[in-house]
Structure 1
Amino acid sequence: MTTIDTSTLATSTGTTSSDTNSVISSDFETFLTMLTAQMENQDPLNPVDSTDYATQLATFSSVEQQVLTNDLLSDLTGMFATSSMSELANWVGNEVRVSAAAYYGGTNSVTVAAEPDSAADSAELVVYDSTGTEVDRLSIDTNAALIEWEGMSEGSYSFAVLSYQDGVQINAETADVYVAVTEVRSADDGVALVLESGDVVAATDVTALRDPSYG
């Protein structure tokens, strides 16, 4: 018995919902034409069992439903991404707290979220330039929360907090910074933020948002 291969029917990539519906409709007509031809040309001494026809129809229906479901999920994903971008558009110009480099423009200080280890009796803030070279180191209070770094020359800087107990380093962590958002864009894994420092981070990495006038 000749069986119609439904695996190649109702498949399409890079199409819109209307395109997919059109393809499915066309494929279904092709399927019926092939099924009719199969019935007309079957061996009269060995006819195809009606159960086989039912199975082929059910298989095509399953493929059709899967294509429509995948297309719907794709549309929903695009809709959610667009919605998120619209909601986050007002973040542009504001400052977000994130683990990334900060940009020092020569005037305003950089706000660093320095959080020394709770067991520390002393702590330091270490500053690195865009090449990873240490350019500054200063002692900070172990109860410090936000530190205003007054900057050096214009450029991007990253920060680390070193915690000590009895003169022995017990912890070293990258410090979060507050940095301005310059652009919101769509990314493969969601919505991304372009920062003033040039870094691109996921919106989900942000832990706080504030008006730049706060600093």
Structure 2
Amino acid sequence: MKIDPSYYLSNQPKRTPSSELGKEEFLKLLMAQIKNQDPLNPMDDKEFISQMTTFSSLEQMMNMNSSIQQLVNNQLVSPVIQYSHMIGKEVSYYKIDEKTGEIVEPKEVVTAQVKAISEREGFAVIELDNNQKIYTDEILRVSTPGLSE
């Protein structure tokens, strides 16, 4: 009686090969190395410690990579959402000449209430109740209307 190998192989769980050595694979390799070492010539303690240090460093780098990826994802928040908490706040900024886009001299501070936040070319634009639109880097002061100073 002959066993058909195609039947046996089709019942095996499919595993996609990976070019990366993960934590589990590293531990399996290390344990196999320890189990199969020559009893008359065991693995050197220094070599074992070196491999464990390498493993520890690898794990720390993987954790750091995960943290950096999370930080990058947090930075991808839309500027509209990022500055939406400013709606209803009062902002002060230097008056800008609408024709030139330059600050009017002598510098005059204007205060207006934020009515909306929009986005232009990836930057947050503050829309004010005096029909002005300014960028966030133009804001000198943010305050809550009605609170005494």
* Interval of TM-score (by shorter of Structure 1 and Structure 2): 0.3 to 0.5
Question: Comparing both chains, which one has the higher relative contact order based on Cα–Cα distances under 8 Å and sequence gaps of 6 or more?
Answer: 1
TM-score, length basis structure 2? 0.47
Where is the helix percentage greater, Structure 1 or Structure 2?
2
TM-score, length basis structure 1? 0.36
